[in-house]
Amino acid sequence: MRTGDVIDGRYELADARGSGAGGVVWTAFDRKLKRTVALKRPHAVASQADRLQFRREAETAARVQHPNAISVFDTVDGDDCWLVMEYSPADSLDKVLAADGTLPPERAARIGVQIAAALAAVHAHGIVHRDVKPGNILVTADGSAKLTDFGISVWREVTRTEDGTFCGTPGYTAPEVAAGRPATEASDVFSLGATLFAAVEGVPPAGAGGPGEVPARERGQREVASPRHAGPLAPLLREMLDPNPTKRPTAHEAGRRLEEFVGDWKPPSWSTAPAPGRRPLWRRPRYRVAAVVLTLTIAATVVAVVASRSQADVFGAELVGDEHAADPCALLDPAALAPMGPTRLHTAKGNFNRCDVVVDIADGKELDVEVQLLLRKRHPVQGLPFEDEGPPEDSGNECHRVVMLGEEYGIQVSAKMPDPGVDLCAVADTGADTVKRVLRRGVLQRRSTSLPPDSLAHVDACGLLDRAELAVLPSVDVSTRARGFGHWSCKWYSTADRVGIHLRYDQHAAMSPIRGDPIRLGDHETYVRSDAARAECTVIVRHRPRNPSPRPTIDLMVLTVRGDQTGGDRCATASLLAGAAADRLPR
């Protein structure tokens, strides 16, 4: 690409402004609207699948309209993928620091309050920026600051590894991301804290060093860096830089705290007529006296605030959004469980509405912390409140907590371990607290990678059996059909007795054996498990698409018939129904 080249018959390239991890940025003249814009394209060549993901991500980014975030105007995906963005002639914060040296805490707070507000807006749309740093913050002479470079978020499928993780820029990367975990809203907050730390201290929290030294320190970071020149900003910076993501404030909370530091000052982009200046909070005599009282009463205050906030946690069903796109793994934080032992995140264990963190406890034992997105019942049958598979009877080896989202959804957190040597309910409480913290940030994060096209996730479970086939169980009322979350399970009930049918999907490790007695249902690989004590029989059918996408798991269709049948065999009935449903699976 050269100066003067015209992109999409409209955008005339002017100057190459720079190149980073996400791609190359140019200034360009929009011939149609007669304005200067910024164009960015990724380094990598995009495939057709990448282009589809690029368009979806760009559409999401374009919905973010905030005075302190560079706006996304348009996309071009001809021979190359281009992102068309608002142009700002301002200098980046890293150039300001190189020219002027470190900033006083008050000026850093003024920049921080604006970027925190932009991040809060970004997070509310389910976007994680992934590369907050001084080079991605533009600062004008009048004090306005803007967050830029959404290319890292938009092109994560083009430029990142398969699991969507991104290690960001050394010096500004959260420890959990440096260790290989996916970036989250909490890691964005860490990066903003590291940016403000560098602004007032001269170096980021992990210090300076060679290309390998800083990332190594970040991966092993266990203590919060101690700022020496941050003054009244120091306590907030320590919280934003906490190695435990669940203990960091949200972007909204950090912005509110920063507003207290800047007093009545408002960014030019927030108000055309700023109120007369007032001394920042920490410089007022009344604040200095109150600080002494606060120190004496802080423990009681924290308890009262936590109790009050817990009672005020009311979440709406709208936080879920598209059920297929909602990411259950975004509700778990492996770092919160890391003190108990090494953690492993399982994104494909059970149905598509589920995610697990497995903790390796001493003596070879494993603790499984599971989260499920559940749909509440919509029919009069009594029992558990959810259509999806609920918790089993209490055996002492599991503990469950549920966070409700309006009248439609629930999020179940389960801590499971055979012969537990830990307090499972305390672990479940920790998981539920993490869920609530995520929900307070807004819309549940979207999946970083779409479900595979050949997955059963795209098949409505309720559509696999029709009225004629269900007639094999006359007491079952077809009108009681109840779908589960994402249409990934379906139940049919009897209103006269306890007979019921449950059809659901399961993700299974491809190299692991399927438990049950093998049989053949037509050309379907099938396994049967009978449980007389629970009065049920389960038939498991392996899904074999003609052109399977490469992945470490396979999909199973699982059908269970429960209850006492008159003059019938549960397993014969379950096999008959499973065979009919399997014949409707896509090939």
Count Cβ atoms below 10 Å from residue 300 Cβ, excluding itself. Answer: 9
* Lookup result for tokens 């499972």: 424
* Active-site residue (options: 131, 188, 333, 356): 131
Give SS3 for 363: helix
Which tokens is 296 given?
């004496």
Which segments of 316-365 does DSSP mark as H helices, in order?
334-337
Q: Which two tokens stand for residue 44?
A: 């990598």
Q: Which run of H or E residues covers position 360?
A: strand 354-360
User: Alpha-carbon distance 258 to 266, whole Å?
Assistant: 11
Residue 268: CB atoms within 10 Å: 13
Residue recorded with tokens 């429960």? 562
Q: How far apart are CA 1 and CA 262, in angstroms?
A: 44
Task: Extract the runs of DSSP E, i.e. beta strands, from 387-458.
Answer: 398-405, 409-416
Three-state secondary structure call for residue 236 = helix
Q: How far apart are CA 474 and CA 581, in angstroms?
A: 18
Q: Report the alpha-carbon distance of residue 428 to residue 416 in Å, rounded.
A: 9
3-state secondary structure 82-145: EEEEECCCCEEHHHHHHHHCCCCHHHHHHHHHHHHHHHHHHHHCCCCCCCCCHHHEEECCCCCE
Sequence-distant (6+) residues with CB within 8 A of 233 are 105, 108, 109, 196, 200, 227, 261
Residues 111, 196: contact at Cβ < 8 Å?
yes
The amino acid at residue 493 is Y
Query: Nearest-CA neighbor of 427 among 356, 310, 313, 337?
Result: 337
Pair 437, 449: CB distance under 8 Å: no
275 is written with which tokens? 């109120």
Contacts of 34 (CB under 8 A, 6+ apart): none
Q: How far apart are the first and last CA of the chain?
A: 44
Catalytic, 454? Answer no
Q: Which residues lie across from 373 on neighbouring strands?
A: 411
Give the active site residues. Answer: 131
